[in-house]
Structure formats: structure tokens, C-alpha cells
A = this chain, B = another copy of it.
Amino acid sequence: MTTSAQASSLRHPPSFGVRLHQAMRAHGPLCAGVDPHRGLMQAWGLDYTVAGLERFAMTCAEAFAGRVAAVKPQSAFFEVFGSAGVAVLERLVADLRAAGTLVILDVKRGDIGTTMDAYAEAFLGKDAPEPPDAITLSPYLGYGSLRPAIDLAHATGRGVFVLALTSNPEGADVQHAVLHGQSVAGHVVAGATADNADAVARGELGSVGLVVGATVGDAVDRLGLDLAGMGGPFLAPGVGAQGGTVESLRRVFGTALPHVLAASSREVLSAGPSVAALATRAQDTAAALAEALAS
């Protein structure tokens, strides 16, 4: 016998925002990156080949599945091995999701029209080959151009993280530019805020997240961004080896801090290739983040 709430959830699976919120409460606000770049694979004693890539990916799957809120594979490091590398990525996504661990695939796609439709179908559609729980999107063609992906994500219970404000010094050339009194980053924040309004009205975390660097300094204040009112999650890369600290997270996110998913790749991955050491490092990092950000 199913209750009506259960029946409803069968018809409408929980949204990405709701699932991420639950996962962050259960495991802490860490998103563990899977960034198999050449130097790291060499440090792990692996050949920089498809076989080495598969070994790296399966090690990460074993270490992270069930132990962190989310895992973020970086598509570029798989695409560099062509279709064979993409097949490894598909297996990684499948293994993590089979364990109930959320996967945010970092692909930074962005296009228009039927092409954007195809990217949406590729990663967020009900017939997608191996769909992650969310993907990253790049809005150079305007936030509005991402509509097909955002709408499909809502329909299939998945999510997106749109690039808003990044920490790299060159990012300001685009993201700080202003049109009609609003910065480009502000334009992206405004779009996400509107798309999350329904979820916020239901008292839920929205499924349209933003990428905001942990080390953007005072840019959030200078550009007048209302991060606390955005209503969705923030993916904050750069925590750990790239210089982001709990203090920089506080400074950048302020009262939006409870919605921050801190992405760490190098710091966690440097504990490999031992599965046990990786798992411990990930769990310790997640616990430390949870404690530091709550206090």
C-alpha cells in the first residue's frame, strides 16, 4: 500500500534541489571533484591512457560513493581520450548514481536553439545515455539561451549550475561588465532567482544553482549581487588547494552560506590512490566544512 505522498513522489520524483539539500545535511557540504589531469594521474602511478583513466575513475567511485553529498567529474579530462574516455565517464556516472550519490557533471555547455535542446537532452533528458543529476552551463549566449536545459531539468527532476562569477582573474572582463545598470553576473543571478521562485515558495531549495568562486573577494558586494535571495544552491570551486578557505566562503556568501556546496578536487584527490585514504580525506573534509560553516 502506498500513501498519497508516496504516490505523488512516484509521479514526481523529488527535485534536484530537494535531493541536494538532503544529501548536504546527511554528508556535509562537500562536492568531491574527479579531475584526472596528467600530473595527478602520474602522481597516482597511473599511465595517462584510457586504462589509467578507468582505474582513476573507478577508484574515485569506490572512495566517494555513499560518503559525500555530491561528486563532480570534470568532462574535459575524459573528453581528452575521445569517445573511449567519454565511455569511462558514463560508467563513473552510473556507478555513483547506483550508490545514490549525486553527480554534478562539469561540462559547461551553452548554445542556442536546437543545439541547446540537444545538449539538454544529452545530459538532462529522460532518454539521456547516462544522465547525471545536474550539469554546469555557460551563459555567454545569455541566460535566456539556456532555457531548454533549465526547463528540461525541472521536468526530469534534475538540476543545473550556471556560471555566474568565477575566481580566475580574466573572468572579470566579461562577468563584471554592465548593461542597463546590471552586471553580467547580476543578470545571471537575476535569471536563477526567477527560475527558483516556485521552489522557494514551496519552502524548498531551487534546482537552478550558480557557480560562484570561493575566492572572488569583494566582487559580490561591489556588483550588488543578492546571493541569499537566489533560492538555489551555489557550487563554489576553489576550496583548498586553489586558495579558498572557510573565511573566504563566509566573506563571499554571507547569509547564503547554508546553500553553498564547496567543491574540492586537488585537496581531496591528493590523498589517493588508496581508496581508504581518499574516502577518509573526503569524509574529514566534508565534516570540517560542515562544522566550520555552521559555527
Query: Which A residues contact B (CB, under 8 angstroms)?
Result: 35, 37, 39, 74, 76-77, 79-87, 89-90, 106, 108-119, 121-122, 125, 128-130, 138-145, 163, 166, 168-179, 183-184, 187
Contact = CB atoms under 8 A, between A and B. Distances in A.
A79 B119 contact: yes
B140 A174 contact: yes
Nearest to A36: B118
Nearest to A88: B83
Given A86-B83, A143-B173, A138 B166 contact: no
A184 B178 contact: no
Nearest to A123: B79
Contacts of A85: 129
B122 A76 contact: yes
Copies in the complex: 2
29 contacts: A35-B114, A35-B115, A37-B114, A37-B118, A74-B118, A76-B116, A76-B118, A77-B118, A80-B122, A80-B129, A82-B90, A82-B128, A82-B130, A83-B86, A83-B87, A83-B129, A108-B110, A112-B168, A112-B170, A138-B141, A141-B168, A141-B174, A142-B170, A142-B172, A143-B170, A144-B170, A145-B168, A173-B184, A177-B183
Contact of A171 (B129, B141, B183): B141
Contacts of A143: 170, 173
Given A80-B118, A139-B174, A142-B169, 11 more contacts: A35-B114, A80-B125, A82-B87, A108-B111, A139-B140, A141-B171, A142-B171, A142-B172, A144-B170, A172-B179, A173-B184
Contacts of A86: 82-83, 86
A117 to B, nearest CB: 7
A155 to B, nearest CB: 16
A173 B84 contact: no
A178 to B, nearest CB: 6
Max chain B CB contacts within 10 Å: which of A122, A125, A139, A163? A122
A81 B145 contact: no
A103 B179 CA distance: 36
Contact of A84 (B35, B83, B113, B118): B83
Nearest to A190: B173
B110 A140 contact: yes
A172 B174 CA distance: 12
Contacts of A128: 80, 82
A138 B90 CA distance: 24
Given A82-B86, A114-B35, A122-B79, A177 B184 contact: yes
A129 B179 contact: no
A167 to B, nearest CB: 9
A178 B175 contact: no
Nearest to A179: B177
Contact of A140 (B82, B129, B140, B169): B140
